[in-house]
Amino acid sequence: MRLLVVGAGGREHALCWALRRENPKADIYCAPGNPGTAELATNLPMAADDLDRLADAADMHGIDLTVVGPEVPLARGLADRLRAEGRVVFGPSAAAAQLEASKAFAKDVMAAAGIPTASSRTFRELEPALAYLARHPEPLVVKASGLAAGKGAVVCQARGEAADTLRQMLAEGRFGDAGRTVVIETFLRGEEVSVLAITDGSEVELLPVSQDHKRLLEGDAGPNTGGMGAYSPVSVASPELLERARGEVLLPALGEMRRRGTPFTGVLYAGLMVDEDGTPWVVEFNCRLGDPEAQVVLPLVSDGFTRSLWAVARGESPLPLEILPGAASVTTVLASRGYPDAPEQGAPIVIPPHLPDGVTIFHAGTARGSDGVLRVSGGRVLNVTAVASGFAEAQRRSRETADAIEYEGKIYRRDIGWREAARVAEVSR
Ligand code: AMP
Ligand code: GLY
């Protein structure tokens, strides 16, 4: 079997790792990949959104299945392009990827399907947005509608801050075109979880539920980022919650997309805020695996991942996944000083030669120079995933390995999983 993974980050390293584990003999390519994927696959030097070159590469290497990691190539129509050329692709069409690429579109789908989500209004002009804001209760959230690498949602404690954010997005071009349309929405309270569903457009097969840590700093302070770490499973994600997520969120969204003539296939990622009543309010939809959710969740899948992707990519129902019984997983993201705005680049990285049991290091923003030295070349640099038989042990191994990796400007959170840690402590008391 010949597989192509599109993308260059930690999620794509985890994808290559999961595919390699299930398919030791497959020819795996990664475009463009990174020094981590190079150890599992053949990296192809081309941008992840260069549709022409990716289509040529799929042709040249006779790729049987393409798995698209990031949202940008999906929103630009990579899956449509490859399918038009007769290839089997895991990932949604550009029309279906609008569920992530336009928050205004996603809100419209949710309203039509009766899915629980924060009440919101969409604006393209500053004056009406400011007028609406003047009557909006605090706190509130201002979001760039388009793709902004997880950084386009600004939680505002006060209307003044929201007004500044609206001006930056609508008048000053912060986030470029992505911020020319904004969504103003009510602040939701509760606990956030990431529910990732493999789907053929009608049926869903859920991956283990995870919890990301979007804020830059410990204690969930600082700006939103692409994600600073995650853990799985999450004890608040009870079977009842998953049943509600399936029945009130995932299936209605898929039904509405079919009704519109743009069925969604691939991974539908629902970012849910779970309130005290256990209602799953949708914070966002993504059209792909999360990053770092993939790095924390894929190591918990013991079998069936490739089979399920393959089935869905050919239009068949997703197949059940086998999950490691009783295992917990924690991923700590190591970033570079200045992330998310202007991360420092170029520092040499030293990874300890011996890693604790169950620890895997996924590369995200690294590059190997002609001198062979591994260096920082992105905002999020490495992801340390630890799988163990319980949460506390997984957390300890991930954190201690993160402590032991060295490079100038390393920043990371040592409190990944703090909510779960508090629950574990409560139970054992
Ligand atoms: P988004 O880009 O929509 O995923 O938002 C990024 C992050 O901002 C989310 O993961 C939440 O942590 C936070 N957020 C977004 N919308 C809301 C909301 N309506 N209420 C509370 N927090 C939110
Ligand atoms: N970790 C959040 C995302 O992938 O969008």
Name the closest ligand to CA 226: 2
Atom of ligand 1 nearest to the CA of 150: 2
200 Cβ closer than 6 Å to some ligand 1 atom: no
Atom of ligand 2 nearest to the CA of 286: 5
100 Cβ closer than 6 Å to some ligand 1 atom: no
Identify whether 154 is part of a domain.
yes
Average pLDDT over residues 125-143: 91
Domain boundary among 51, 80, 95: 95
- Closest protein CA for atom 8 of ligand 1: 153
Task: Report which of 48, 40, 23, 98 is spatially closest to residue 291, judged by C-alpha positions.
Answer: 48
Domain shared by 202 and 158, yes or no: no
Q: Given pLDDT bands bounded at 50, 70 and 90, which one contains residue 101? A: very high
Atom of ligand 1 nearest to the CA of 187: 20
The reported pLDDT for the residue numbered 174 is 86
Identify whether 107 is part of a domain.
no
Residue at token pair 């696959």: 41
Read off the pLDDT of residues 206-217 as tens digits, 9 standing for 90 and up. Answer: 999 999 999 999
Domain shared by 404 and 267, yes or no: yes
CB 89 within 8 A of CB 4: no
Domain shared by 156 and 291, yes or no: no
Residue at token pair 């939103």: 224
Name the closest ligand to CA 212: 2
CB 405 within 8 A of CB 366: no
Domain shared by 42 and 21, yes or no: yes
Domain shared by 162 and 234, yes or no: no
Identify whether 208 is part of a domain.
yes
Domain shared by 138 and 91, yes or no: no
298 Cβ closer than 6 Å to some ligand 1 atom: no
Q: Which residue blocks in 225-317 are alpha helix, DSSP H?
A: 239-244, 251-259, 293-297, 305-313
Here the tokens at position 39 are 């150890």
Identify whether 195 is part of a domain.
yes
415 Cβ closer than 6 Å to some ligand 2 atom: no
Identify whether 108 is part of a domain.
no
70 alpha carbon – ligand 2 mean position (Å): 10
Atom of ligand 2 nearest to the CA of 230: 1
- Closest protein CA for atom 10 of ligand 1: 214
Between CA 257 and CA 122 the distance in angstroms is 20
Between CA 295 and CA 16 the distance in angstroms is 11
The reported pLDDT for the residue numbered 97 is 98
CB 142 within 8 A of CB 122: no
Average pLDDT over residues 403-417: 98
Supply the mean pLDDT for the chain.
96
Between CA 414 and CA 390 the distance in angstroms is 18
Domain boundary among 95, 110, 138: 95
The reported pLDDT for the residue numbered 151 is 75
- Closest protein CA for atom 3 of ligand 2: 290
Domain boundary among 141, 158, 180: 180
The reported pLDDT for the residue numbered 266 is 98
Name the closest ligand to CA 224: 1
Structural domains in the chain (count): 3
CB 197 within 8 A of CB 245: no
Helix (H, G, I), strand (E, B) or coil at 419: helix
Phi/psi of residue 96, nearest 5 degrees: -75, -30
Domain CATH code at residue 381:
3.30.470.20
The reported pLDDT for the residue numbered 427 is 75
Read off the pLDDT of residues 234-260 as tens digits, 9 standing for 90 and up. Answer: 999 999 999 999 999 999 999 999 999
Domain shared by 347 and 383, yes or no: yes
Domain shared by 134 and 33, yes or no: no
SS (H, E, C) 220-244: CEEEECCCCEEEECCCCCCHHHHHH
Whether residue 154 is predicted with pLDDT greater than 80 in this model: the reply is yes
155 Cβ closer than 6 Å to some ligand 1 atom: yes
The reported pLDDT for the residue numbered 92 is 98
Domain shared by 159 and 220, yes or no: no
Chain centroid to CA 62: 28
From 269, 282, 416, give the residue whose CB has the most ligand 2 atoms within 8 Å, as the site to mutate.
Answer: 269
368 alpha carbon – ligand 1 mean position (Å): 35
Identify whether 100 is part of a domain.
no
Cα dist from 268 to 35, 99, 264, 287, whole Å: 28, 9, 8, 5
Q: Which amino acid is at 319?
A: L
Domain shared by 261 and 376, yes or no: yes
What share of the chain has pLDDT > 70, as a percent? Answer: 100
The reported pLDDT for the residue numbered 275 is 94
Between CA 234 and CA 420 the distance in angstroms is 7
Domain shared by 148 and 47, yes or no: no
Residue at token pair 């609508």: 170
CB 299 within 8 A of CB 385: yes
Q: Domain range for residue 86?
A: 2-95
Q: Given pLDDT bands bounded at 50, 70 and 90, which one contains residue 371? A: very high
The reported pLDDT for the residue numbered 143 is 92
Atom of ligand 2 nearest to the CA of 291: 4
Domain CATH code at residue 85:
3.40.50.20
Identify whether 323 is part of a domain.
yes
154 alpha carbon – ligand 1 mean position (Å): 8
The DSSP string of 159-181 is HHHHHHHHIIIIIS-TTGGGGSS
Whether residue 35 is predicted with pLDDT greater than 90 in this model: the reply is yes
Whether residue 383 is predicted with pLDDT greater than 90 in this model: the reply is yes
Task: Report which of 75, 10, 89, 40 is spatially closest to residue 290, judged by C-alpha positions.
Answer: 10
Domain shared by 269 and 234, yes or no: yes
Identify whether 119 is part of a domain.
no
Between CA 323 and CA 61 the distance in angstroms is 32
CB 271 within 8 A of CB 285: yes
Q: Given pLDDT bands bounded at 50, 70 and 90, which one contains residue 149? A: confident
Domain CATH code at residue 171:
3.30.1490
